[in-house]
């Protein structure tokens, strides 16, 4: 099926072509006709499969068919980054129309957003907190809303926005079209859908797994050797741009600084940054001024940057579904990409959960002997960190230890071939000046 066969107008088809779309993705092919019919829709699809265009295109068509100077479409998103991404998509697809959009989120001046609302936009993309603030001050008129979109509904729930969502829904017209979009569908979101949607059609193409075009590799490594291994992999791989995910804000900032000192064009993105700093980081990454974005899970959803070739999980996520979203930042629009995991012994429990959730066949176990510094003492069975690989025991080292934990067979020949094919980088001496005893102390 082509976009022409979906019944889109000439202005929209021209924008679709300029945006680089060639044929509809499955979620677009199934969702667009239903929305054009005015149906309520639940859309569940893997991240990176074109969900935004699947609801933006029919919404634009509906607004063109019945023009009016009022807010007709309200899109609710969990984060500022996702809200801005959605606005970018709407603007691109409405390029040859006179439709106007406004994005509302916290962390910036409310006055600027109020001024833009005075220009009668048809489409508002909002984060719940700032939207409620404007509603409380009677600064926004939602009385003409005929389409409500909840994007990344599972994330809205995870971030505690469900009570805010219910307040917003209670303040807009009851007669409207409802579109609920999410990469996963936990039971809480199903309940919300049952409460607000009327006879919805479910377009569910999702599996809780990354796209098949992503290659996944797992690297066992001691915690204090993660940075050298990360640097080695980035030098070895053909990386156009990459996102590195960490578990904490502090680690994202610190790792970006460490990579910058090593000559990489790296920038951090984390929740403690001001909106101006976040915009500067994302703008620089999109335009190629930075080729490495070090981020917390704030960047795991909604970022659509086609040039991202690699995703590195410096820390494994606490939730397997977050891994799906992280990996989905690469291989956008059915392209190909790579997702690497750096797994230390303390990460094994998280990896076991991830493997059980996604499947152990998903991961390609890759061992770099130069970075396997963990051995298992025969006497205690506990993991010990050493600065060298124990060559006295067959299969000794991190790869053997972690494979035993995960219940995977150990192939000594595999280790030998890997060691022969990959030359480990030399260890660097410790930084700092050598301490010497003063003559005064030496004479004591």
- How close are the terminal C-alpha atoms of the chain, in Å? 89
Q: Which residue has the tokens 């891994």?
A: 323
Task: Give the C-alpha separation, 33 to 331, whole Å.
Answer: 26
CB 43 within 8 A of CB 203: yes
- Inter-CA distances, 133 with 81, 104, 167, 168, 384, Å: 19, 10, 12, 11, 54
Q: Which of 169-178, 320-329, 363-372 has the lowest mean pLDDT?
A: 363-372
- Inter-CA distances, 36 with 4, 69, 121, 355, Å: 14, 21, 21, 40
Q: What single string gives the DSSP state of each residue in 377-392?
A: -TTT---EE-SS--TT
Q: Which fold has domain 214-366?
A: Rossmann fold (3.40.50)
Residue 436 has pLDDT above 60, yes or no: no
pLDDT for position 189: 78
CB 424 within 8 A of CB 368: yes
Q: Which CATH number fits domain 4-204: 3.55.50.30, 3.30.1330.60, 3.40.1180.10, 3.40.50.300?
A: 3.40.50.300
Angle at the Cα of 141 from the Cα atoms of 140 and 145, rounded to 5 degrees: 125
CATH 3.40.50.300 boundaries in the chain: 4-204, 214-366
pLDDT for position 368: 73
CB 185 within 8 A of CB 206: yes
Q: At what angle do helices 320-327 and 348-358 cross, to 10 degrees?
A: 70
Residue 402: both structure tokens together = 């972690």
Residue 22 has pLDDT above 90, yes or no: no
User: Could you tell me the pLDDT band of residue 209, with boundaries at 50, 70 and 90?
Assistant: low
Task: Give the C-alpha separation, 91 to 104, whole Å.
Answer: 15
pLDDT for position 395: 39
Q: Which residue has the tokens 């003409």?
A: 144
Under DSSP, the state recorded for 176 is S
What is the pLDDT averaged over residues 98-119? Answer: 94
Residue 79: both structure tokens together = 């984060």
The more confident residue out of 205 and 60 is 60
H-helix or E-strand spanning residue 102 = strand 101-104
Task: Give the C-alpha separation, 6 to 133, whole Å.
Answer: 39
What is the pLDDT averaged over residues 285-310? Answer: 85
Radius of gyration of the chain (CA): 25
Q: At what angle do helices 51-65 and 26-36 cross, to 10 degrees?
A: 30
SS3 259: helix
The tens digit of pLDDT for each residue in 63-104 reads 999 888 899 999 999 988 889 989 999 999 999 999 999 999
**Alpha-carbon torsion, ordered 407, 411, 412, 414, to 10 deg:** -130
pLDDT for position 207: 53
CB 176 within 8 A of CB 146: yes
């Amino acid at each position: 099926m082509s976009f022409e066969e979906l019944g889109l107008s000439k202005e929209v088809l021209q924008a679709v072509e300029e945006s680089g779309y060639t044929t509809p993705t499955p979620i677009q092919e199934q969702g667009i006709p239903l929305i054009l019919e005015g149906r309520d829709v639940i859309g569940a699809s893997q991240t990176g499969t074109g969900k935004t265009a699947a609801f933006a295109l029919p919404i634009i068509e509906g607004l063109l068919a019945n023009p009016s100077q009022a807010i007709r479409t309200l899109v609710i998103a969990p984060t500022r980054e996702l809200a801005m991404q959605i606005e970018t998509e709407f603007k691109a697809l409405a390029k040859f129309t006179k439709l106007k959009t406004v994005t509302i989120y916290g962390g910036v001046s409310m006055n600027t957003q109020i001024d833009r609302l005075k220009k009668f936009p048809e489409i508002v993309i909002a984060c719940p907190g700032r939207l409620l603030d404007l509603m409380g001050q009677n600064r926004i008129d939602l009385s003409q809303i005929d389409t409500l979109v909840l994007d990344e509904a599972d994330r809205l729930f995870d971030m505690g926005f469900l009570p805010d969502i219910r307040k917003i829904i209670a303040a807009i017209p009851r007669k409207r079209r409802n579109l609920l979009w999410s990469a996963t569908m936990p039971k809480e979101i199903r309940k919300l859908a049952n409460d607000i949607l009327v006879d919805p059609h479910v377009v569910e193409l999702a599996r809780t797994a990354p796209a098949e075009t992503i290659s996944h590799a797992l690297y066992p490594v001691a915690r204090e050797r993660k940075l050298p291994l990360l640097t080695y992999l980035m030098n070895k791989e053909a990386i156009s741009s990459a996102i590195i995910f960490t578990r904490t804000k502090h680690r994202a900032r610190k790792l970006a600084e460490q990579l910058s000192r090593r000559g990489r064009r790296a920038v951090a993105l984390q929740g403690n940054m001001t909106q101006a700093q976040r915009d500067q980081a994302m703008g620089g990454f999109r335009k190629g001024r930075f080729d490495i974005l070090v981020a917390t899970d704030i960047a795991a959803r909604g970022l659509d940057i086609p040039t991202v070739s690699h995703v590195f999980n410096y820390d494994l996520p606490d939730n397997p579904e977050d891994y799906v979203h992280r990996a989905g930042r690469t291989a956008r629009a059915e392209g190909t990409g790579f997702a690497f995991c750096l797994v230390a012994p303390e990460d094994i429990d998280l990896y076991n959960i991830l493997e059980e959730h996604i499947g152990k066949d998903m991961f390609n176990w890759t061992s770099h002997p130069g970075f396997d510094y963990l051995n298992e003492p025969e006497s205690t069975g506990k993991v010990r960190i050493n600065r060298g690989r124990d060559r006295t025991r067959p299969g000794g080292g991190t790869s053997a230890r972690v494979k035993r934990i995960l219940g995977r067979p150990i192939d000594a020949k595999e280790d030998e071939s890997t060691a022969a094919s990959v030359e480990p980088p030399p260890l660097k001496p410790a930084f700092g000046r050598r301490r010497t005893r003063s003559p005064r102390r030496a004479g004591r």
